[in-house]
Amino acid sequence: MPDESMKKTIMVALAVCIACSVLVSTAAVSLQGIQKENIALDRIRNILIAADLPAEGKDIRKVYENNIEPRMIDLTTGRVVDDKKIIERLDIERFNIPAAAGDPDFGRNIPGDRDIAGIKRMPRYMVIYFMRNKEKSGKVILPVYGKGLWSTMYGLIALADDLKTVTGFTFYAHAETPGLGGEVDNPKWKESWKGKQVLDSEGNVSIRVVKGRVDNSRPEAMSRVDGLSGATITSRGVENLLHFWLGEQGYGPLLNRLREGLYG
| Least spacing, CB of residue 63 vs ligand FMN, in Å | 32
| Least spacing, CB of residue 147 vs ligand FMN, in Å | 11
SS (H, E, C) the chain: CCCCCHHHHHHHHHHHHHHHHHHHHHHHHHHHHHHHHHHHHHHHHHHHHHCCCCCCCCCHHHHHHHHEEEEEEECCCCCECCCHHHHHHHCHHHCCHHHHHHCCCCEEECCHHHCCCCCCEEECEEEEEEECCCCCCCCEEEEEEEECCCCEEEEEEEECCCCCEEEEEEEEECCCCCCCHHHHHCHHHHHCCCCCECECCCCCECCEEECCCCCCCCHHHHHEEECCCCCHHHHHHHHHHHHHHHCCCCCHHHHHHHHCCCCC
Q: Which is nearer to ligand FMN, 159 or 228 (CB)?
A: 228
Strand duo 224-226 + 208-210: pairing? parallel
Q: Which is nearer to ligand FMN, 129 or 193 (CB)?
A: 193
Interface residue list for ligand FMN (CB under 6 A): 149-150, 176-177, 180-181, 229-234
Q: Which is nearer to ligand FMN, 147 or 243 (CB)?
A: 147
Query: Crossing angle of helices 60-67/6-50, nearest 10°?
Result: 40
Q: Which is nearer to ligand FMN, 123 or 181 (CB)?
A: 181
Q: Which is nearer to ligand FMN, 60 or 233 (CB)?
A: 233
| Least spacing, CB of residue 191 vs ligand FMN, in Å | 20
Q: Which is nearer to ligand FMN, 78 or 182 (CB)?
A: 182
| Least spacing, CB of residue 152 vs ligand FMN, in Å | 13
Residue number, nearest CB to ligand FMN = 181
| Least spacing, CB of residue 144 vs ligand FMN, in Å | 18
| Least spacing, CB of residue 185 vs ligand FMN, in Å | 12
CA dihedral 158, 160, 163, 168 (to 10 degrees): -20
| Least spacing, CB of residue 153 vs ligand FMN, in Å | 10
Q: Which is nearer to ligand FMN, 18 or 175 (CB)?
A: 175
